[in-house]
């Protein structure tokens, strides 16, 4: 049996950090002090500062800057040209698609409607709370998050996506994929994370385009639509982004509104803000 992946201490810090993010997200215009935020989460300013920096790689102040509208607009400034460049160098194929070194393949509608499709699932810690990972025989097919300890709801969310599949609980089988996704030390081109995209042709094309958006950058629904040759299909792109079953790895969190607004996220806006800020810390470190 495979050992469970060993995650850094910050994987246990998310509950506190999430409360801080929710506070910062509603009060960012007031530019709250470190003392204000620490009081909100019930920690001393020094303890909170240390915990937050360990988790995010950024101070609370820098994180706050990373998730403001002004920063979002900066991320969007060259979003269209980023996608153009990614396609120009062939990043839409199974090569280094983005920072996680992901390779992918797609299953046709006929494949994923088969009654004999077996999917294994497991629950694992992550920097953004407990995660559910779903693996097909040839790679990761789903990644979502557990809220309030409700594993049944997280599993139901995944099973609704592929209702005819057979689901088998197997933490040991999904553990390596979870480690590869969430541990930056394992983001290596010699050991890429293989994902299996199960969806319609249009959905898969949208998800492939998301893989071309680099960490620390962002794009919009309309830019993706334009890149797909369907400039009037922004709404359909939005629907496909919302159905993305492989959260974080296929970075739908990097899609923002044209105004720079963070917009919605299937796994909660606070978590989307958390992921964007966490990635900002990784880019800063790099």
132-181 confidence digits (pLDDT tens): 999 998 899 999 999 989 999 999 999 999 888 999 999 999 999 999 99
Give the residues across from 81 on adjacent strands.
Answer: none
The answer to whether residue 183 is domain-embedded is yes
**Claim to verify: residue 107 and residue 184 sit in the same structural domain:** yes
Of the two residues 52 and 97, the one the predictor is more confident about is 52
The answer to whether residue 37 is domain-embedded is yes
Residue keyed to tokens 């994180």? 63
* Residues tagged active-site: 252
Closest CA to 128 of 180, 195, 48, 182: 182
The answer to whether residue 24 is domain-embedded is yes
Which pLDDT tens digit goes with each residue over 22-43? 888 787 777 788 999 999 999 9
The pTM (predicted TM-score) of the whole model is 0.85
pLDDT attached to residue 144: 97
**Claim to verify: residue 224 and residue 187 sit in the same structural domain:** yes
The answer to whether residue 3 is domain-embedded is no
Structural domain total, the chain: 2
- Look at phi and psi of residue 101 and say left if phi exceeds 0, alpha if psi is from -120 to 50, else beta: left
**Claim to verify: residue 24 and residue 123 sit in the same structural domain:** no
Strands 139-145 and 131-136 turn out to be antiparallel
The CATH number given to whatever domain includes residue 279 is: 1.10.10.10
**Claim to verify: residue 45 and residue 80 sit in the same structural domain:** no
**Claim to verify: residue 146 and residue 30 sit in the same structural domain:** no
The answer to whether residue 4 is domain-embedded is no
On whether the CB atoms of residues 93 and 103 are closer than 8 A, the answer is no
The CATH number given to whatever domain includes residue 37 is: 1.10.10.60
The answer to whether residue 108 is domain-embedded is yes
**Claim to verify: residue 86 and residue 190 sit in the same structural domain:** yes
The answer to whether residue 1 is domain-embedded is no
**Claim to verify: residue 169 and residue 239 sit in the same structural domain:** yes
Determine phi and psi for 174, rounding to 5 degrees: -90, -10
pLDDT attached to residue 87: 53
SS (H, E, C) the chain: CCCCCCCCHHHHCHHHHHHHHHHHHHHHHHCCCHHHHHHHHCCCHHHHHHHHHHHHCCCHHHHHHHCCHHHHHHHHCCHHHHHHHHHHCCCCCCCCCCCCCEEEEEECHHHHCCCCCEEEEEEECCECECEEEEEECCEEEEEEECCCCCHHHHHHHHHCCCCCCEEEECHHHHHHHHHHHHCHHHCCCCCCEEEEEECCHHHHHHHHHHCCCCCCCCECHHHHHHHCCCCCCHHHHHHHHHCCCECCCCCHHHECCCCCCCCCCCCCHHHHHHHHHHHHHHHHHC
Which pLDDT tens digit goes with each residue over 58-72? 888 888 777 776 666
**Percentage of the chain modeled with pLDDT above 90:** 48
**Percentage of the chain modeled with pLDDT above 70:** 81
The answer to whether residue 21 is domain-embedded is yes
What is the rounded CA–CA span in Å between residue 197 and residue 244?
9
> Cβ contacts of residue 16 below 8 Å, gap of 6+?
41, 43, 48, 51
Domain span including residue 277: 74-285
Strands 102-107 and 118-124 turn out to be unpaired
Q: What is the mean pLDDT of the chain?
A: 84
**Claim to verify: residue 153 and residue 254 sit in the same structural domain:** yes
**Claim to verify: residue 59 and residue 186 sit in the same structural domain:** no
**Claim to verify: residue 26 and residue 151 sit in the same structural domain:** no
**Claim to verify: residue 129 and residue 212 sit in the same structural domain:** yes
Assign 91 a pLDDT band (cuts: 50, 70, 90).
very low
**Claim to verify: residue 100 and residue 168 sit in the same structural domain:** yes
């Amino acid at each position: 049996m495979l050992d469970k992946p060993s995650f850094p201490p910050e994987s246990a810090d998310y509950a506190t950090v999430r409360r801080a993010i929710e506070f910062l997200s509603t009060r960012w215009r007031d530019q709250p002090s470190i003392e204000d935020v620490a009081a909100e989460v019930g920690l001393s300013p020094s303890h909170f500062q240390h915990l937050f920096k360990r988790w995010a790689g950024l101070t609370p102040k820098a994180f706050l800057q990373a998730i403001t509208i002004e920063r979002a607009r900066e991320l969007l400034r060259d979003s269209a040209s980023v996608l153009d460049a990614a396609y120009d160098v062939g990043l839409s194929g199974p090569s280094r698609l983005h920072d996680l070194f992901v390779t992918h393949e797609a299953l046709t509608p006929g494949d994923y409607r088969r009654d004999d499709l077996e999917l294994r699932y497991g629950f694992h810690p992550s920097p953004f709370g407990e995660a559910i990972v779903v693996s097909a025989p040839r790679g990761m097919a789903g990644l979502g998050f557990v809220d309030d300890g409700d594993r049944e709801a997280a599993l139901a969310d995944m099973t609704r996506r592929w209702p005819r599949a057979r689901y088998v609980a197997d933490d040991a089988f999904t553990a390596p994929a979870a480690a590869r996704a969430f541990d930056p030390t394992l983001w290596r081109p010699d050991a890429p994370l293989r994902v299996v995209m199960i969806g319609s042709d249009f959905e898969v094309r949208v998800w492939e385009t998301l893989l071309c958006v680099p960490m620390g950058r962002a794009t919009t629904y309309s830019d993706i639509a334009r890149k797909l040759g369907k400039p009037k299909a922004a709404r359909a792109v939005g629907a496909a982004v919302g159905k993305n079953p492989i959260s974080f790895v296929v970075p739908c969190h990097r899609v923002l509104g044209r105004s720079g607004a963070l917009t919605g996220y299937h796994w909660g806006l606070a978590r989307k803000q958390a992921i964007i800020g966490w990635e900002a810390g990784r880019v800063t470190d790099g």
